Amino acid sequence: MTDAAPSVSLFDRFGRREGISALVEEFYRRVEADPPIRAVYPDDLEPGKQKLKLFLEQWLGGEPVYSERYGHPRLRRRHFPFVIDERAAGLWLKHMRQAMDARGIAAEDASAVFERLAPLARHMVNANEDVPREPLGDARLQ
């Protein structure tokens, strides 16, 4: 009988908190340099950076700090204040993929994430919908 090697989470393979922070910073550098997608974001990018870092940490298998602070992610509702069209969702995915490549994320790990991330990004599209546009801020959603 052999011992099965313990599985290593995507959180670990992405470099844990430090690696995810670097990935998000790389992603936001790309967003800032791309006027069409930059226009979707608020003037102050820092709150979004911090939330994306915490969300990705949790989503990739790290501690549930995002949920502890903000409750259930309810990402679609949290993105209603931003008018997101198909182009913006595609640009978001493009810049995240490029950021992963720039950070040296293994192709198989990036692919595993994009299997779930691509449908999620498309789910955020709300440009032609009558949705509440008021910001939630740091509201805790259950």
Q: What distance in Å separates the CA atoms of residue 122 and residue 21, rounded to the nearest whole number?
A: 23
Query: By percentage, how much of the chain surpasses pLDDT 90?
Result: 72
Mean pLDDT of 17-39: 97
Q: What distance in Å separates the CA atoms of residue 80 and residue 141, rounded to the nearest whole number?
A: 14
Domains and CATH numbers, the chain: 14-62+71-123 (1.10.490.10)
Helices then strands (H, E): number in the chain?
8, 0
Look at residue 138 in the predicted model and tell me its pLDDT: 65
Q: State the chain's mean pLDDT as an integer.
A: 90
User: Got the DSSP string for 29-71?
Assistant: HHHHT-HHHHTTS-S--HHHHHHHHHHHHHHTTS--HHHHHHB
Three-class SS of residue 141?
strand
- pLDDT per residue as tens digits for the range 95-141: 999 999 999 999 999 999 999 999 999 999 989 878 877 776 666 65
CA angle 114/54/127 to nearest 5° reads 60
> Can you give the pTM of this predicted structure?
0.87
Length reported for the chain = 142
Look at residue 136 in the predicted model and tell me its pLDDT: 67
Look at residue 103 in the predicted model and tell me its pLDDT: 97
- pLDDT per residue as tens digits for the range 85-94: 999 999 999 9
